[in-house]
């Protein structure tokens, strides 16, 4: 997979951010008709969850990755991998409303750090904890060492099924394939901006509201179907 170089990202990145918000606006209207179409829950068939999770990364990566699926008690390991990567369908909520359902494949660094905290989130959700209680537990976990802040690394989000919530527009929708690089506790000033804005390249997100889980978003060209290193999973 070829990530856009800096000059391409500067011009095309701005365009893609604009497209992102158009996608979100259109998807928000679609969601009002049938939101369940986009959202993974514990009742979603296991094979469907696996297929979605694997769609996050090129086949060469995801075929050797550990895979998790959501069950009645939280995330369950469906398959043990061999390359250090872990694939999952990432969910987020606003109150009791699910707002995101996005396939993600973490590298080895993310698998031992951010993803451990995510597995804890789903465990607590299965126990009926509120999102506020869950966030408090995760914040304390980073403070007391139960969860580790990630070092350099990234996660794949190359699926066409990236349905996420955007804090700026306050809506959910589909976003283009992209990579996310770990940027713990980074601020807009660290990447040369006064504040977070749609025109940021790369885009800084702290979707969880926790500094240790800040990420830099870089849009990427999705490999063609004929590329042996690309995503050939069925959707």
* Residue 53: CB atoms within 10 Å: 30
Write the DSSP symbol of residue 5: -
CA distance 216 to 105: 15
The tokens for 82 are: 């061999």
CA distance 31 to 35: 4
* Residue carrying the six token digits 């809506």: 171
* Of 138, 150, 141, 144, residue with least CA distance to 113: 150
Tell me: pLDDT of 194 over 60. Answer: yes
Per residue in 90-108, pLDDT (tens digit) is: 999 999 999 999 999 999 9
At residue 114, the pLDDT reads 97
Per residue in 157-182, pLDDT (tens digit) is: 999 999 998 877 888 989 899 999 99
Reduced to 3 states (helix: H, G, I; strand: E, B; else coil), residue 123 is: helix
- pLDDT above 70 covers a percentage of the chain that reads 77
Tell me: pLDDT of 9 over 50. Answer: no
Per residue in 37-93, pLDDT (tens digit) is: 568 999 999 999 999 999 999 999 999 999 999 999 999 999 999 999 999 999 999
- pLDDT above 90 covers a percentage of the chain that reads 61
CA distance 118 to 95: 17
CA distance 7 to 12: 8
201 phi and psi angles, rounded to 5 deg: -135, 110
Is residue 221 within 8 A of residue 234, CB to CB? The reply is: no
Spatial neighbors of 32 by CB under 8 A, at least 6 apart, are none
Residue length of the chain: 235
Per residue in 220-233, pLDDT (tens digit) is: 877 665 554 444 45
CA distance 68 to 72: 13
* Of 23, 75, 1, residue with least CA distance to 198: 23
| 46 membership: H or E segment, kind and range | helix 46-54
């Amino acid at each position: 997979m070829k990530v856009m170089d800096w000059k391409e990202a500067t011009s095309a990145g701005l365009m893609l951010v604009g497209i992102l918000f158009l996608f979100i606006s259109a998807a928000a209207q679609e969601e009002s008709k049938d939101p369940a179409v986009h959202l993974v829950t514990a009742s979603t068939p296991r094979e469907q969850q696996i297929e979605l999770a694997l769609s996050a990364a090129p086949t060469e990566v995801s075929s050797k990755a550990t895979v998790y699926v959501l069950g009645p008690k939280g995330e369950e390991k469906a398959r043990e991998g061999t390359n250090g990567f872990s694939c999952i369908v990432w969910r987020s909520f606003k109150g009791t409303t699910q707002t995101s359902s996005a396939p993600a494949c973490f590298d080895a660094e993310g698998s031992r750090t951010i993803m451990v905290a995510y597995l804890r989130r789903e465990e607590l959700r299965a126990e009926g904890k509120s999102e506020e209680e869950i966030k408090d537990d995760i914040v304390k976990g980073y403070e007391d060492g139960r969860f580790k802040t990630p070092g350099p690394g990234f996660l794949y989000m190359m699926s066409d099924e990236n349905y996420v919530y955007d804090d700026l527009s306050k809506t959910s929708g589909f976003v283009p394939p992209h990579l996310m690089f770990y940027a713990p506790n980074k601020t807009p000033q660290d990447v040369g901006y006064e504040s977070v804005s749609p025109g940021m390249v790369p885009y800084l997100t702290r979707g969880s509201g926790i500094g240790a889980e800040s990420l830099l978003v870089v849009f990427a060209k999705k490999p063609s179907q004929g590329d042996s290193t690309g995503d050939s999973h069925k959707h």
